[in-house]
Amino acid sequence: MLYFSRWKATAILVGTLLVCLCAVPNFFPDSVVDKWPKWAQRHVVLGLDLQGGSHILLEVDSNAVRREKVETLRDDVRRVLRDARIGYTGLTGRGDTVDVRIREAGDVPQALTKLRELSQPLGGILGGSGQRSIDITDQGNGLIRLTVTQAAMTERIRQSVEQSIQIIERRVNELGTVEPSIQRQGIDRILVQVPGLQDPSRLKDLLGKTAKLTFRLVDMTADAAEAAQTGRVPPDSELLYEGRGGQRVPILVEKRIMVSGEDLTDAQPGFDQRTSEPIVSFRFNTSGGRRFAQTTQENVGRPFAIVLDNEVISAPVIREPILGGSGQISGNFTVESANDLAILLRAGALPAPLTIVEERTVGAGLGQDSIEKGKIAAYVGSGLVVVYILATYGMLGLFANVAVAINVAMIFGVLSMLNATLTLPGIAGIVLTVGMAVDANVLIYERMREEARGGRSAINAIDAGFARALSTILDANITTLIAAVVLFFLGSGPVRGFALTLIIGIFTTVFTAFTLSRLIVSFWVRMTRPAAVPI
């Protein structure tokens, strides 16, 4: 066990050195590292709990997505039956299904054929699943039931999440923060992490708004205040509210949409030239501009409402046709809220509302404190261990300490190579690894001592000590590895950081025990030719 060929010893030393060198970029400030070649820049990233920042987990409102999908299906059914001139009586959408009752029994087969055209195979051309987007069944008595399949719903939710991520990216990037990270999590969740953000309330405002903007005419045929009291609203209108000086003023707005936010090409914050109030100016695309021009031309003198997420922002009267394809929104804005609205309009509307299901924000001060205290704890803990091992094993203890120190350097090297995130629990993981790495050496040395007491010569005992201890070290570490791997895959956030350092630590521990510790001792044996095991 103690013999190393020259090339093998060199390979071990060079390999160890290379891994340790990977940790080097961590010791230089970012400004210096940025000038290095790309491959040398990889370094450990501090977690949000150490550098401060916001971690926000959003969930796409899948019920809204479902509702919308079923509503679209209901509209499709209506269109198909109308086009085919098939009479129907009831048409209802509930849960995942749409029910329609065909008036003439003889029309049912034709209706089924037509409606089946709505159902599409899932998964594109290569979709081998054979599943379709809608199940259509004849319930008898002229009743046809269309059910959106689970697969189609999941696919729709997936698309919504993808779209939401793109829109969120645009919104968050406008905030001008450093390296925000936006990832999908699970089926319907999005994780937004913004380092360095102290007060996430603005971010949350930006994330929480669907930002569905519509321009619609105000319904003047009925009195809004009366409708609000009696609840009697004309069928083609809906009752919305405008926040005006702390009060909520009811306004009846037509359901028909003149132009929507999708037709915007640009939105910028600015100031009204006359009143110098903050405003948002916008520009429509060609088709939107044309529609807006046409409607305003036909409705001069009537008010129209600018509606954002079912809230009226303002309802100005059309004084003259707006033909230029651009306009401005005013309405009790502050400079910041005008700016935010412009951001939201530029980024586009979310396909479905998002809710914040988890938030963790750490201030930079706490993060800094944690780093300081974590460092002190690590120094004190490691210091105690180093002294204790020296007191127990003397010279061999020194070797063990060197091996453990290199082990820790290698952990940082590997973490850097992975561009991994170091969290507070991660530091705890490293400190614990120090304990485990020491254990590997303890196992070896204790075994040497035993073998020596059993009557072996020093060299023989040292050799046997390594040979016997290594299988134990392997077994012991693999069992811990199992727990760590489980922790990594099932844990979330900070716990994963802990598991990651533990996993890396286990590998470097086994590596150093099998190679480096052995190499150091073999050098020492060759140099000193000990007559007895010195422990």
Partner 1 sequence: MKLLRLVPDDTNLPFMKWRRITFPLSGALSLLAVVLFFTVGLNFGIDFRGGTLVEIQARNGAAADLADIRSKLTALDLGEVQLQRFGAPSDVLIRLAQQPGGDEAQQAAVRKVRETLGDGYDYRRVEVVGPRVSGELVQNGVLGMLVAIFGILIYLWFRFEWEFAVGATIATLHDVVLTIGFYSITQIDFDLSSVAAVLTIMGFSVNDTVVIYDRIREMLRRYKKMPLDQLLDLAMNSTLSRTAITSTTVILSLLGMFFFGPEAIQSFVQAMLFGAVVGVYSSAFIAAPLLIYFGLRTRPLAEGSEEESGAPRGAKART
Positions in 355-394 near partner 1 (CB under 8 A): 355-363, 365-366, 369-370, 373-374, 376-385, 388-389, 391-394
Q: Could you tell me if 360 and 276 are in contact, meaning their C-beta atoms sit under 8 angstroms apart?
A: no
> Min. distance of Cβ 433 from partner 1 in angstroms?
9
By CB under 8 A, tell whether 434 contacts partner 1: yes
Q: Which of 115, 194, 251, 438 binds partner 1 (CB under 8 A)?
A: 438
Q: What sign does the CA torsion over 21, 23, 28, 29 have?
A: positive
Residue whose CB is less far from partner 1, 178 or 486? 486
Residue whose CB is less far from partner 1, 4 or 514? 514
> Min. distance of Cβ 230 from partner 1 in angstroms?
28
Q: Could you tell me if 10 and 28 are in contact, meaning their C-beta atoms sit under 8 angstroms apart?
A: no
Residue whose CB is less far from partner 1, 126 or 391? 391
Question: Restricting to residues 292-351, which ones interact with partner 1 according to CB under 8 A?
Answer: none
Question: Restricting to residues 159-188, which ones interact with partner 1 according to CB under 8 A?
Answer: none
Question: Restricting to residues 98-117, which ones interact with partner 1 according to CB under 8 A?
Answer: none
> Min. distance of Cβ 484 from partner 1 in angstroms?
7
- Parallel, antiparallel, or unpaired for β 247-254 and 134-140? unpaired
> Min. distance of Cβ 125 from partner 1 in angstroms?
36
Residue whose CB is less far from partner 1, 323 or 366? 366
> Min. distance of Cβ 309 from partner 1 in angstroms?
14
Question: Restricting to residues 183-212, which ones interact with partner 1 according to CB under 8 A?
Answer: 199-201, 204
Q: Two tokens at 117?
A: 């055209």
Of 174, 165, 181, 173, the C-alpha closest to 48 is: 181
- Parallel, antiparallel, or unpaired for β 304-308 and 259-260? unpaired
Q: How crowded is the C-beta side of 293, counted as CA atoms within 13 Å? A: 12
CA atoms of 47 and 498, how far apart (whole Å): 11
Q: Residues near 241 by Cβ (< 8 Å), separated by ≥ 6? A: 248, 249, 250, 251, 311, 312
Helix, strand or coil, per DSSP, at residue 89: strand
Residue pointed to by tokens 């409102």: 61
| Contacts with partner 1, 231-250, as mask; x by CB under 8 A | --------------------
Question: Restricting to residues 58-77, which ones interact with partner 1 according to CB under 8 A?
Answer: 59
Residue whose CB is less far from partner 1, 402 or 476? 476
193-209 exposure pattern, b = at least 16 Cβ within 10 A, e = fewer:
bbbebeebeebbebbbb
The region of 68-76, 174-182, 353-361, 516-524 touching partner 1 under the rule CB under 8 A is 353-361
Of 253, 332, 327, the C-alpha closest to 284 is: 327
CA atoms of 303 and 308, how far apart (whole Å): 16
> Min. distance of Cβ 438 from partner 1 in angstroms?
5
> Min. distance of Cβ 456 from partner 1 in angstroms?
10
Question: Restricting to residues 33-52, which ones interact with partner 1 according to CB under 8 A?
Answer: 49
Write the burial class of residue 339 (CB in 10 Å: 0-12 exposed, 13-18 middle, 19+ buried).
middle
> Min. distance of Cβ 117 from partner 1 in angstroms?
38
| Contacts with partner 1, 388-427, as mask; x by CB under 8 A | xx-xxxx-----------------------------xx--
Question: Restricting to residues 461-480, which ones interact with partner 1 according to CB under 8 A?
Answer: 468, 471-472, 475-480
> Min. distance of Cβ 50 from partner 1 in angstroms?
10
Question: Restricting to residues 269-288, which ones interact with partner 1 according to CB under 8 A?
Answer: none
Residue whose CB is less far from partner 1, 325 or 429? 429
Of 293, 233, 230, 232, the C-alpha closest to 259 is: 293
The region of 237-245, 343-351, 406-414, 441-449 touching partner 1 under the rule CB under 8 A is 441-449
> Min. distance of Cβ 89 from partner 1 in angstroms?
38
Q: Could you tell me if 47 and 497 are in contact, meaning their C-beta atoms sit under 8 angstroms apart?
A: yes
The region of 101-109, 117-125, 152-160, 485-493 touching partner 1 under the rule CB under 8 A is 485-493
Residue whose CB is less far from partner 1, 47 or 93? 47
Going across the sheet that includes 304-308, the strands are 247-254, 237-244, 311-314, 304-308, 213-217, 259-260
Q: With residue 27 as reference, give the H or E element that holds it.
A: none
> Min. distance of Cβ 470 from partner 1 in angstroms?
11
Of 192, 190, 183, 188, the C-alpha closest to 156 is: 188
CA atoms of 460 and 463, how far apart (whole Å): 5
Cα angle 426, 492, 63 (rounded to 5 degrees) comes to 160
Q: Which of 422, 443, 513, 516 binds partner 1 (CB under 8 A)?
A: 443
The region of 141-149, 407-415, 437-445, 509-517 touching partner 1 under the rule CB under 8 A is 437-445
Of 92, 84, 59, the C-alpha closest to 192 is: 59
Question: Restricting to residues 490-509, which ones interact with partner 1 according to CB under 8 A?
Answer: 490-495, 498-499, 502
Q: Could you tell me if 396 and 517 are in contact, meaning their C-beta atoms sit under 8 angstroms apart?
A: no
By CB under 8 A, tell whether 513 contacts partner 1: no
Q: Which of 455, 527, 531, 532 binds partner 1 (CB under 8 A)?
A: 455
Q: Count of residues binding partner 1 (CB under 8 A)?
A: 81
> Min. distance of Cβ 439 from partner 1 in angstroms?
4
By CB under 8 A, tell whether 228 contacts partner 1: no
Query: Would you give the distance in Å from CA 502 to the centre of its chain?
Result: 24
